[in-house]
């Protein structure tokens, strides 16, 4: 049965599998590199980082928080949205659009969701300044301008520098450990 196949298939099938494996590896490597860069920038701007948490939302429920960064100027709630393409949105618009080639994809306004997370964290750590940022993770552009509280991985460091330019406050250790204690890790 195998002897009935043309001779070129003996090298074409393994070659096609190798090309598919290489393409998959390159895509996964690129995704990991964005996440690695995100964590590196966050760690460079803060002294502690909590990731993938469920915290009380203040309405007898829970809300998922991607990252909370502890800094001298308070806490920063960072939401991560993986997206690629030209992004059209504003803080007051319910749905944003991303154009990737000829395809358009809509997604919920991440700034509004980030505000909810910031309010939930503020309710748990009264007296501590809590800021919010949305990081669009991937190759993105903003043809109509960058929406407020929204950054890319390339501009995240500058945005954190601007937030942290405020004079340092008190040590937030007690509030940080209290927040970490009431949060549940997402698995």
Tell me the percentage of the chain whose pLDDT exceeds 70: 86
Spell out the domains of the chain, with CATH numbers in brackets. Answer: 7-185 (3.40.1350)
Q: CB–CB of 136/152 below 8 Å?
A: yes
**How far is the first Cα of the chain from the last one, in angstroms, to the nearest whole number?**
48
The predicted structure's pLDDT at residue 166: 62
- The residue among 99 and 1 whose pLDDT is bigger is 99
Cα(159)–Cα(62) distance, integer angstroms: 28
Cα(120)–Cα(111) distance, integer angstroms: 14
Q: Is 55 exposed, middle or buried (0-12, 13-18, 19+ CB in 10 A)?
A: buried
CA neighbor of 70 nearest in space, from 160, 158, 135, 183: 160
Q: For 107-135, how does the pLDDT look when each residue is reduced to its tens digit (9 = 90+)?
A: 999 999 999 999 999 999 888 899 999 99
């Amino acid at each position: 049965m195998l002897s009935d196949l043309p001779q070129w298939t003996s090298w074409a099938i393994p070659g096609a599998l190798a090309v598919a494996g290489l393409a998959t590896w390159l895509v996964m490597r690129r995704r990991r590199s964005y996440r690695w860069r995100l964590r590196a920038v966050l760690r460079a701007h803060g002294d502690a980082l909590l990731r993938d948490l469920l915290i009380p939302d203040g309405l007898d429920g829970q809300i998922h928080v991607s990252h909370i960064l502890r800094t001298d100027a308070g806490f920063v709630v960072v939401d991560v949205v993986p997206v690629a393409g030209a992004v059209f949105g504003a803080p007051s618009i319910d749905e944003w659009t991303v154009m990737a080639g000829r395809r358009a994809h809509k997604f919920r306004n991440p700034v509004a969701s980030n505000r909810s997370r910031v309010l939930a964290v503020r309710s748990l750590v009264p007296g501590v300044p809590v800021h919010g940022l949305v990081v669009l993770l991937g190759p993105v552009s903003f043809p109509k301008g960058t929406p407020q509280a929204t950054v890319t991985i390339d501009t995240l460091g500058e945005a954190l520098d601007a937030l942290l330019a405020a004079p340092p406050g008190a040590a937030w250790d007690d509030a940080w450990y209290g927040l970490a204690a009431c949060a549940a890790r997402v698995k």
